[in-house]
């Protein structure tokens, strides 16, 4: 395992260092020479250093070939190439990875076989591997963990060709399964493809956020559980005595599953370990989890270096390592205090979540003390859901009636998972600071080792109580004469504005009570107008909690009802609380101090570009941009007069318009952002507004502005 960790570390460094190619070659030759002359008995630390340096040099050298400096990022380009993988969701659009055959961007580019360009467009969502794709648009820097040399934000896309045979087969199965599920409840339409095929595109924002908060998101990632079930069934057919035949059948099943679900990070990890197990089976040898995982990590890092910065792969590997290292000890200790049927249900998620804590700490804002409980409650239905979903998907194109039968038990399982996730996500103790979640998990592990039922119950209960009650207050001390507050709600948005005795709230943050805690800390008990810029969960998810702490007169919403499920959910909440709902457009006003700047009447854009943008005539003028991207920003710029304070669009994404920054010309810019894997706030956004003072909530917490226009936060 230390060698595997060294390999991953060296690979990650190699992906993000820049030096002359000759230096990498020199280091690589030195490592090879040292390895050749190494004698038995060399200290382990030397071996780890050699592995790490070797992976660093080889990865950096390879990265030079796959990410050429000649790609003109920021330029308009025409790109044509072959689709490598099926499209994956990318916000309201899709990301399609292509191997370019032609790039016209005004600069010569050497097209290596390993070069990849990611095309972002709603028109490309139906693309499958093997098809030809041509797109025009602007080249941009990809996210930190991406293997793509650049991303093309496409204005137009053309897709043609049939695709590969395996890709057509997988697309046919997905389409047939979607047709069968069309008249099923929302939880079945979302979770059956998610669990069976790893396709989580149908998850509603509410359910997706609830599953993330309660640590159930792994259910929609095809991984070791799927492969174990399928390979176990295949091996049972021929028996372990026919070792080679069993291993061949296992390889066939593994290949079919990968063709169906694609090379997702968790699939790569699980498939690598399965390959090691099958190789051992063919040779009549046994294998162990840690060596199999370590070999997989090293092999995958060599074949695809970008796994070293893939959160999905690292979380999957960490969880597997945690179960392998701590699982048996936890089972043994829990068997003394719990009935047998609960031992695995508690030990496995506890071990996995403990092992993932260091990785989650780098990007998770919130968590839940009920994560282990959620996994215990859903454990009994995971196997029938997985088996029913997979067989339903396979049978859907050829025997729809049999597929309906297979899906029936899976649908009951999805109802239960939906209820558990949504219910526990609303309990006190959910969507709390991640540090509290980690503390409770560690406390649970410690008391399990004590093997004392009374101690275990009392200490765990005390930890949960503290995590629920203690952080109930946001911890922010706002000045009594505040006129605006940028709430720290993690990777989401919530902004308070006050003019005399009138208060407006723009967005309410993601699911949980972060938005409500900010409203409570500000001393707000009544909101005259609540503006929901658009219906994405990170802007509307905190609505139930906010309505518990403050009454609302009027609700303003975007005319773009996307996603529809979230819009309907908001309307139900508003009706239940007797709040009038109003679709607004540019020109609408509240009093003489709050104006709607965007969207203009008749505009038809996606959810982000249809965000409600408001301007408040307090503190020298405040503009709150929602999640509008460059298309809408270009249209807003001529109408937006100079303001003192601007809330940067879309959490500081790279999609910012120079004209809007110039016309607004704020002296103070707020970025509502949490720990994330999107690269927010982007370097481009920070550079664009470098003339102003920029304050981000991820670093400074909530930011209050007093009547004199002075900003107060925990940053100096």
Query: Which tens digit of pLDDT belongs to each residue from 244-283?
Result: 777 777 777 777 777 777 777 777 787 778 777 778 777 7
Q: Are residues 634 and 485 in the same domain?
A: yes
Contacts of residue 9, defined as CB under 8 A and 6 or more positions apart, other chains included, come to: 52, 55, 308
Among 34-48, 501-515, 525-539, the range of highest mean pLDDT: 525-539
In a domain, 467, yes or no: no
What's the token pair of residue 280?
Answer: 């051992």
CATH number of domain containing 486: 3.60.15.10
**What is the SS3 string spanning 452-470?**
CHHHHHHHHHHHHHHHHHH
Q: Are 60 and 19 spatial neighbours (Cβ–Cβ below 8 Å)?
A: yes
Q: Are residues 479 and 595 in the same domain?
A: yes
Q: Are residues 198 and 142 in the same domain?
A: no
Q: Are 554 and 582 spatial neighbours (Cβ–Cβ below 8 Å)?
A: yes
Q: Are residues 638 and 608 in the same domain?
A: yes
Query: Which tens digit of pLDDT belongs to each residue from 686-698?
Result: 999 999 999 999 8
Backbone angles phi, psi at 672, to 5 degrees: -90, 105
Distance CA 353, CA 364 (A): 13
Q: Mean of the per-residue pLDDT values for the chain?
A: 82
What's the token pair of residue 166?
Answer: 């395996």
In a domain, 11, yes or no: yes
Q: List the one residue out of 17, 374, 269, 307 whose CA is nearest residue 145.
A: 307
pTM of the model: 0.64
Question: Burial of 621 by CB count in 10 Å (0-12 exposed, 13-18 middle, 19+ buried)?
Answer: middle
Residue 98, classed as helix, strand or coil, is strand
Count CB-CB contacts under 10 A for residue 190: 26
Residue 624, classed as helix, strand or coil, is strand
Residue 90, classed as helix, strand or coil, is strand
Distance CA 287, CA 322 (A): 17
Which pLDDT belongs to residue 175? 87
Which pLDDT belongs to residue 586? 92
Tokens 């003489």: give the residue.
592
CATH number of domain containing 112: 2.40.50.120
In a domain, 356, yes or no: no
Distance CA 696, CA 709 (A): 17
Q: Are residues 414 and 493 in the same domain?
A: no
Q: How far is CA 44 from CA 14, 47, 58, in A?
A: 22, 5, 21
Q: List the one residue out of 696, 687, 683 whose CA is nearest residue 647.
A: 696
Q: Are 367 and 440 spatial neighbours (Cβ–Cβ below 8 Å)?
A: no
Q: Are residues 61 and 139 in the same domain?
A: no
In a domain, 381, yes or no: yes
Q: Are residues 703 and 560 in the same domain?
A: yes
For residue 494, name the pLDDT band (cuts at 50, 70, 90): very high
CA atoms within 13 A on the CB side of 197: 25
In a domain, 653, yes or no: yes
Least confident of 19-28, 313-322, 676-685: 19-28
Q: Are residues 517 and 393 in the same domain?
A: no
Which pLDDT belongs to residue 108? 58
Contacts of residue 344, defined as CB under 8 A and 6 or more positions apart, other chains included, come to: 331, 379
Distance CA 424, CA 173 (A): 33
Q: List the one residue out of 45, 353, 55 whose CA is nearest residue 214.
A: 353
In a domain, 376, yes or no: yes
Distance CA 100, CA 134 (A): 9
Q: Are residues 587 and 708 in the same domain?
A: yes
Q: Is the peptide bond before 173 cis (omega within 30 degrees of 0)?
A: no
User: If phi over 0 gives left and psi between -120 and 50 gives alpha, with beta otherwise, what is residue 163?
Assistant: left
Q: Nearest-5° angle of CA 522, CA 476, CA 537?
A: 75
In a domain, 364, yes or no: no
What's the token pair of residue 500?
Answer: 């005399």
User: If phi over 0 gives left and psi between -120 and 50 gives alpha, with beta otherwise, what is residue 213?
Assistant: alpha
Dihedral, CA of residue 306, residue 311, residue 313 and residue 314, to nearest 10: 100
Q: Are residues 123 and 210 in the same domain?
A: no
Looking at 66, 96, 119, which one is the last position of a domain? Answer: 66
Query: Which tens digit of pLDDT belongs to each residue from 202-227?
Result: 777 667 778 888 888 878 776 767 67
Domain that holds residue 32: 2-66
CA atoms within 13 A on the CB side of 332: 6
Higher pLDDT, 63 or 491: 491
Q: Are 258 and 230 spatial neighbours (Cβ–Cβ below 8 Å)?
A: no
Q: Are residues 503 and 651 in the same domain?
A: yes
Which pLDDT belongs to residue 18? 67
Return the DSSP state at 681: S
- Average pLDDT, stretch 573-581? 93
For residue 525, name the pLDDT band (cuts at 50, 70, 90): very high
Furthest CA-CA distance within the chain = 82
Which pLDDT belongs to residue 574? 93
Which pLDDT belongs to residue 472? 43
The secondary element (H helix, E strand) that includes residue 255 is helix 243-261
| Count of domains for the chain | 5
Q: Are residues 55 and 82 in the same domain?
A: no
The secondary element (H helix, E strand) that includes residue 46 is helix 44-66
Which pLDDT belongs to residue 554? 94
Handedness of CA 509, 513, 518, 523 (dihedral sign): positive
Which pLDDT belongs to residue 38? 66
Distance CA 135, CA 124 (A): 9
Q: List the one residue out of 364, 371, 493 whose CA is nearest residue 429.
A: 371
In a domain, 248, yes or no: yes
Q: Are 530 and 544 spatial neighbours (Cβ–Cβ below 8 Å)?
A: no
């Amino acid at each position: 395992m230390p060698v595997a960790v060294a390999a991953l570390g060296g690979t990650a460094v190699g992906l993000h260092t820049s030096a002359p190619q000759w230096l990498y070659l020199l280091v690589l030759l030195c490592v090879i020479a040292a390895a050749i002359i190494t004698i038995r008995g060399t200290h382990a630390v030397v071996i780890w250093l050699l592995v790490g340096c070797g992976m660093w040099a080889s990865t950096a050298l390879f990265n030079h070939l796959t990410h050429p400096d000649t790609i003109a990022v920021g330029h308009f380009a025409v790109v044509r190439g072959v689709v490598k993988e099926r499209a994956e969701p990318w916000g309201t659009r899709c990301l399609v990875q292509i191997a370019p055959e032609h790039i016209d961007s005004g600069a010569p580019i050497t097209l290596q076989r390993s070069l990849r360009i990611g095309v972002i467009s709603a028109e490309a969502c139906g693309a499958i591997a093997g098809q030809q794709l041509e797109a025009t648009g602007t080249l941009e820097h990809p996210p930190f963990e991406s293997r793509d040399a650049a991303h093309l934000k496409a204005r137009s896309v053309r897709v043609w060709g049939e695709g590969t045979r395996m890709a057509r087969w997988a697309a046919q199965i997905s389409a047939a399964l979607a047709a069968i599920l069309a008249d099923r409840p929302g939880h079945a339409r979302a979770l059956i493809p998610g669990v069976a095929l790893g396709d989580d595109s149908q998850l509603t924002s509410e359910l997706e956020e609830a599953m993330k908060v309660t640590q159930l998101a792994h259910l929609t990632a095809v991984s070791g559980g799927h492969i174990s079930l399928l390979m176990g069934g295949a091996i049972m057919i021929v028996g372990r005595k026919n070792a080679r035949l069993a291993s061949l059948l296992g390889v066939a099943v593994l290949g079919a599953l990968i063709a169906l679900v694609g090379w997702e990070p968790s699939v790569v990890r699980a498939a690598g370990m399965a390959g090691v197990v099958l190789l051992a089976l063919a040779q009549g040898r046994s294998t162990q989890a840690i060596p199999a995982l370590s070999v997989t990590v090293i092999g995958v890092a060599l074949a695809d270096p970008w796994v070293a910065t893939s959160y999905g792969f690292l979380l999957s590997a960490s969880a597997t390592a945690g179960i392998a290292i701590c699982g048996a000890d936890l089972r043994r200790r829990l068997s003394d205090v719990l009935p047998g049927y609960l031992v695995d249900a508690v030990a496995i998620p506890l071990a996995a979540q403990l092992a993932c804590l260091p990785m989650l700490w780098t990007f998770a804002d919130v968590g839940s003390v009920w994560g282990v409980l959620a996994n215990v409650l859903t454990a009994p239905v995971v196997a029938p859901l997985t088996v029913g979903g997979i067989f339903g998907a396979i049978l859907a194109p050829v025997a729809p009636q049999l597929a309906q039968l297979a899906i029936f038990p899976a649908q009951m399982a999805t109802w239960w998972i939906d209820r558990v996730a949504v219910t526990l996500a609303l309990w006190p103790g959910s969507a709390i600071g991640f540090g509290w979640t980690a503390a409770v998990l560690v406390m649970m592990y410690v008391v399990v080792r004590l093997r004392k039922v009374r101690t275990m119950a009392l200490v765990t209960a005390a930890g949960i109580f503290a995590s629920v009650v203690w952080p109930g207050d946001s911890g922010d001390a706002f000045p009594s004469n505040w006129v605006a507050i940028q709430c720290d709600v993690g990777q989401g948005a919530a902004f308070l504005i006050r003019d005399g005795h009138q208060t407006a709230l723009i967005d309410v943050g993601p699911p949980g009570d972060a938005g409500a805690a900010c409203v409570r800390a500000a001393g707000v008990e009544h909101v005259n107008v609540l503006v929901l810029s658009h219906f994405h969960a990170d802007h509307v998810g905190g609505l139930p909690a906010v309505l518990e702490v403050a009454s609302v007169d009027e609700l303003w919403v975007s005319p773009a009802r996307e996603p529809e499920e979230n819009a309907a959910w908001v309307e139900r909440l508003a009706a239940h609380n007797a709040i009038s709902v109003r679709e607004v457009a540019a020109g609408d006003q509240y009093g003489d101090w709050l104006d709607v700047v965007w969207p203009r009447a008749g505009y038809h854009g996606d959810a982000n570009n249809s965000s409600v943008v408001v301007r408040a005539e307090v503190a020298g003028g405040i503009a709150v941009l929602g999640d509008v991207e460059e298309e809408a920003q270009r249209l807003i710029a001529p109408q937006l007069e100079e303001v003192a304070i601007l809330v940067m669009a879309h959490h500081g994404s790279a999609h910012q318009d120079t004209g809007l920054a110039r016309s607004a010309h704020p002296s103070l810019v707020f970025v509502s952002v949490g720990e994330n894997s999107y690269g927010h706030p982007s370097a481009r956004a920070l550079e664009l507004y470098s003339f102003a003072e920029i304050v981000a909530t991820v670093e400074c917490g909530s930011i209050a502005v007093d009547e004199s226009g002075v900003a107060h936060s925990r940053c100096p």
